[in-house]
Amino acid sequence: MDTRKFGRTKLEVTPIGLGLAALGRPGYINIGHSADLNGSYAVGAMETRAHAVLDAAYKNGVRYFDAARSYGRAEEFLGSWLRSREISPASIVIGSKWGYTYTADWKIQAEAHEIKEHSLDVLRKQWSESTSTLGEHLDLYQIHSATLASAVLENEQVLGQLAAMKNDGLAIGLSVSGPNQRAVIERAIATEIEGVPLFDSIQATWNLLETSAESSLAMAREAGMGVIIKEALANGRLTDRNSSPGFAEKMALLHSEAARLSTSIDALALAAVLAQPWVDIVLSGAAREEHLLSNLSALDVLWDATAEDNLGLLTESTEEYWRRRSRLKWN
């Protein structure tokens, strides 16, 4: 896989990265997560599965890996994989996130799966935990799900600490979610510390159903930020696992375009992201090797104007999209 410069940073990244949200914990909201894990939730079994998917990604050229403190043991599994495979920090780019604490206690159903707090104390605590696990492999540290309501983009103590970390050579980013992604991205682009833009990257949701962030993502890219896209498969809604009768017409459209372009519908949905001029990395959220390989075949899709036109019909209203996402069940 080719590499490209990641925004204004010195990092070189691949167009497809692997996200570890589904690999680091037994419970997640993706459709079919429980089927993937097949009843095998022991820490050792999950670590072996995570290592197998990481091996397959690395073997196929993936060089960006995305974790978070709140993805259960994702950082730990990534750290043990890096050490056991003796992967040098220079040969790979690792991003993680702070701001949510994992609280599900390795359970599939929990009262609270993760607790959000964007304070200086949490930043300091989680930074120390992330570096003790990932050490000098850690290249990018992102605020996890920044919102205007959490006021993290106005918290001078937090921003000052992030600026100090950036001065030490770390890339600083943020991720956004929900119907107000655009406003948060625009605020992030404008955030400067002593006249220097703070954020080197943005991680946001864009997929064939929810495209509302695209103009602000283009602005972010133009401003020199690296752009990472998550939830490109709408948490599994853009895969064969979506058997919802209400989606049948859209599914038929996806299948007919996938057949025309000789690909799978997950690869088609990822190719739609890769076709955007402002994207640097699209994340695969695969928890199984065969899904990862199908996702990677997005690189071979010959995306064209017909696909752009036909699949443009899939877009939902932003409010409806996020309402549906909030109804996905932990499994």
Ligand X SMILES: NC(=O)c1ccc[n+]([C@@H]2O[C@H](COP(=O)([O-])OP(=O)(O)OC[C@H]3O[C@@H](n4cnc5c(N)ncnc54)[C@H](OP(=O)(O)O)[C@@H]3O)[C@@H](O)[C@H]2O)c1
Binding stretches for ligand X (CB under 6 A):
19-22, 30-33, 36, 66, 97, 144-145, 175, 177, 203, 230-236, 239-241, 264, 266, 283, 285-288, 291, 294-295
Calculate ∠ Cα 51-173-293, nearest 5°. Answer: 30
CB of 147 to ligand X, least distance (A): 10
CB of 124 to ligand X, least distance (A): 20
CB of 74 to ligand X, least distance (A): 8
Cα separation, 168 vs 198, in Å, equals 13
The helix, strand and coil proportions of the chain, stated in percent and rounded to the nearest 5, come to 45, 15, 40
Nearest to ligand X of 208, 307 (CB atom): 208
CB of 208 to ligand X, least distance (A): 11
Nearest to ligand X of 93, 156 (CB atom): 93
Q: Torsions phi, psi of 241, nearest 5? A: -75, -15
Write down how long the chain is: 331
CB of 194 to ligand X, least distance (A): 27
Which residue, judged by CB position, is nearest to ligand X in the bound state? Answer: 285
Nearest to ligand X of 221, 237 (CB atom): 237
178 — alpha (psi -120 to 50), left (phi > 0) or beta? left
The set of long-range contacts for 254-261, using a CB threshold of 8 Å and a minimum separation of 24, is 254/208, 254/311, 254/314, 257/306, 257/307, 257/310, 257/311, 260/306, 260/307, 261/301, 261/302, 261/303, 261/304, 261/307
Cα separation, 100 vs 123, in Å, equals 10
Nearest to ligand X of 201, 203 (CB atom): 203
CB of 24 to ligand X, least distance (A): 9
Nearest to ligand X of 175, 212 (CB atom): 175
Cβ-based neighbours of 232, under 8 Å, separated by 6 or more: 206, 207, 238, 269, 270, 272, 273, 282, 283, 284
CB of 17 to ligand X, least distance (A): 8
Nearest to ligand X of 146, 159 (CB atom): 146
Nearest to ligand X of 126, 145 (CB atom): 145
